[in-house]
Structure 1
Amino acid sequence: MQQAYIVDALRSPTGKRAGSLAQVHPMDLGAHVLKALVARNNIPAEDYDDVIFGAIDAIGPNAGNLARFCWLGAGLPESVPGVTIDRQCGSSQQAVHFAAQAVMSGSQDVVVAGGVQNMSQIPINTALYAAAELGFPDPWTTAESFRARYGEQQLSQFAAAEMIAKKWGFTRADMEAYALESNNRALAAIEAGHFALEVVPYGNFSMDETARRSSLEKMATLQTILPNGILTAAISSQMSDAASAVLVCSEAAVKRYGLTPRARIVHMSVRGDDPVWMLTAPIPATRHALAKAGLRMNDIDRVEINEAFASVSMAWLQELDYDPARTNVNGGAIALGHPIGATGTKLMTTLLHELERSGGRFGLQTMCEGGGLANVTIIERL
């Protein structure tokens, strides 16, 4: 099997909800990162084989195969195709997997994997809400096959995060302490310039605006999301706006265009878990990936696990017995946002740059995804 190399990775700055990117069309935001990626790599634009973009809620400005039109919006050749995929929160991480699989199979040599989401314009589940207005209610509780297996349970990420906190014994105070550390790490990383090489400014907007200067005292005053729950906005990922992209190439392309690969994709897999618990899949998925790759957690120098909720990352850390000091070292989605379709390659971009900054060898990325799924990618810095 051929190797798949990461040649480049970049992202836009992340805008907070109703912030600096709120009025930017998703097509324009995706076009921005694609144009920058092509401009800074020595590959003729017509030689790109495919553009695979993650984006969820394909409605309004997200509809009509957004990947294709992001490429066209960038002024790039009409001959290059594009496809938009939805694996919920893991959509653009799955885009990396599809790109690498195409390269490893020998069918393609130069593939862009990425994603875009403007959640200020299209909040999560907009498509479901729109369908409900047309007379199509919750698809899970109305489907006989789902009810036969899981009963009348509605799938709720908030309920799942609460269940995880209860099962693993995390208090609200525990999770607020975790969230505060995420924000403090993000603020420190921004001030130290750790994101400077990975972010492509959008006009005058040049750096993430999501990290909060908060305190445990302030967090303690927030209202819970669910009645009688412990989950609050402070210990949840932020709805945000961003785009990101990773360039995946074959060895033949590396030689043909005189490229310098920055990392090798060592392993990629996706696994499922209980869809009602929904957010626990990164735990078994990581164990599966390590076994397939012949690695142990001690071999991994840096981890990026998406902080959908504090309880998700905390449970993963506890179960995998991994060092928190090597996990989300520049902050996570609680501080830096979770622009769903873009998050996978956003985290991959940060992971690659962090390995280069720290001199680490192996990096692992995982995230929970709607339906009880989790992608895991392991890369090796070259």
Structure 2
Amino acid sequence: MSKQIQDAYIVAATRTPIGRSHKGYLRNTRPDELLATTLRAALAQVPGLDPATIEDVICGCAIPEAQQGLNVARIGAVLAGLPNSVGGITVNRFCASGISAVQMAADRIRVGEADVMFAAGVESMSMVPMMGNGPSLSPNIFSNTDDVDNYGIAYGMGLTAEKVAQQWKISRSAQDEFAYASHMKALAAMKAGAFTDEITPITVDDRSVDLDSAKVTVTQRTVNLDEGVRPETTVEGLGKLKTVFSARGSVTAGNSSQTSDGAGALILASESAIKRFGLTPLARFVSFASKGVPPHIMGIGPIEAIPAALRYAGLQHQDIDWFELNEAFAAQSLAVINTLGLDPSKVNPMGGAIALGHPLGATGAIRAATVIHALRRNNLKYGMVTMCVGMGQGAAGIFERV
């Protein structure tokens, strides 16, 4: 007997501050602990909810190995003190892992297989490098050096951004101005306290060594803001940076996303669970789409995914009040905005990954928390989280304030 499709609602949404990888304040914090922290914090937002009713923890992670391997979703659930009955599964769609986790959790509720679900994302780019500790691509990737699609897979995301900049005619100056705006919007949002509702502060340990006495001193501090924003950024300064991926290119470290550490978590519930536990829904999950594109221009993925998500929702892009478009690179962000005719004032009003950071598999969950709280704070109706995905994909998810 078929079940009627029901709505899935977000009843809690939080994230850690985002730290710079390798030298940032989360560099020594294990990703499974970051995940556990956000799971506990999200649960604390719904004190009336019985944790035993949670069906599963679905967690996105782009490089699920080492400290974030061995099914980090289940490990995070155990570390968070969730009941043993709560399962855990780790999913990987690279940069869209977090938003895919939200979509999968919502779908379990929508088809009636669960009433309460956790969706999350986590990534420590300090502890687990971009390609993992032992990358081993198929030799066939390199078998035809004239195949530009394979070239994009084998030699990195930066070259795909250069390809997009060339094909969509995105100038170096436009990229640098976009990057500058990202930092300034993020700085203004921080000063206004706009991130407060979505961020769970993290206590971190700082260690120092006295070489004479061979003693290690450990001090603790609490961090509650994203670490990547650079107030001193200027367009002129960005313009002086050397290109990174192509000597005659236009993509620099300054107009690219920052490698980062962080985690985010959401609790989704059915209408019956909301009534049963007296929960307050923050938003309704509306639709999701993922689309493939040529790997060598992977940055254009949202150009295909955004219209599909809108079509599934019966909406136009003009109906979306707030876009969280992951700024993998300024070049691809501008290509998406220009091609689809998006209103720039609605795109990343509080800055994006160029300023705030991009902890790969965590980003979708983190930006979902951002858009959900932004819709409520600004009394807006529809918000979208969208991003390009390595090896040629795009993803987009839509939320409605309730």
State the shift of 1:198 in Å.
0.7
1:48-76 CA deviation, whole Å, 9 max, x = no partner?
Answer: 10000011222210110001001111122
Give the gaps of 5 or more residues in structure 1.
none
Letter in 2 for 1:234: G
- Partner SS for 1:49: strand
- Partner SS for 2:254: helix
- Partner SS for 2:25: coil
CA, structure 1 residues 230+149, in 2 after alignment: closer, same or farther (shift >3 Å)?
closer
Contact 1:140 1:154 in 2 (8 A): no
Asked if 1:333 is matched to 2:353, the reply is yes
- Give the aligned partner of residue 336 of structure 2: 316
Contact 2:152 2:160 in 1 (8 A): no
- Give the aligned partner of residue 69 of structure 1: 75
1:1-382 aligned within 5 A:
1-17=5-21, 18-41=23-46, 42-127=48-133, 130-131=134-135, 136=136, 138-139=137-138, 141-142=140-141, 153-155=151-153, 156-203=156-203, 204-213=222-231, 214-226=233-245, 227-382=247-402
Give the gaps of 5 or more residues in structure 2.
204-221
CA RMSD of aligned residues (A): 1.7
Q: Counterparts of 2:261 and 2:74 in 1: how far apart (Å)?
A: 19
Q: Counterparts of 1:30 and 1:148 in 2: how far apart (Å)?
A: 42
State the shift of 1:123 in Å.
2.1
Aligned-pair identity in percent equals: 39
TM-score (norm 1): 0.94
Contact 2:124 2:359 in 1 (8 A): yes
Q: Counterparts of 1:50 and 1:96 in 2: how far apart (Å)?
A: 12
Contact 1:179 1:334 in 2 (8 A): yes
Q: Counterparts of 2:149 and 2:389 in 1: how far apart (Å)?
A: 21
State the shift of 1:142 in Å.
4.3
Contact 2:12 2:43 in 1 (8 A): no
1:96-147 CA deviation, whole Å, 9 max, x = no partner?
Answer: 00001000000011101011111111121124xx14xxxx4x3264487x99
State the shift of 1:208 in Å.
1.0
State the shift of 1:179 in Å.
0.2
Q: Counterparts of 1:349 and 1:57 in 2: how far apart (Å)?
A: 22
CA, structure 1 residues 311+150, in 2 after alignment: closer, same or farther (shift >3 Å)?
closer
The structure 1 segments of at least 4 consecutive aligned residues displaced by more than 2 Å after TM superposition are 138-144, 146-154
1:141-176 CA deviation, whole Å, 9 max, x = no partner?
Answer: 4487x9998776341311111111111211111100
Q: Counterparts of 1:152 and 1:365 in 2: how far apart (Å)?
A: 28
1:330-353 CA deviation, whole Å, 9 max, x = no partner?
Answer: 000000000111100101100011
- Partner SS for 1:211: coil
Letter in 1 for 2:89: V
Contact 1:362 1:379 in 2 (8 A): yes
- Partner SS for 2:128: coil
Contact 1:141 1:153 in 2 (8 A): no
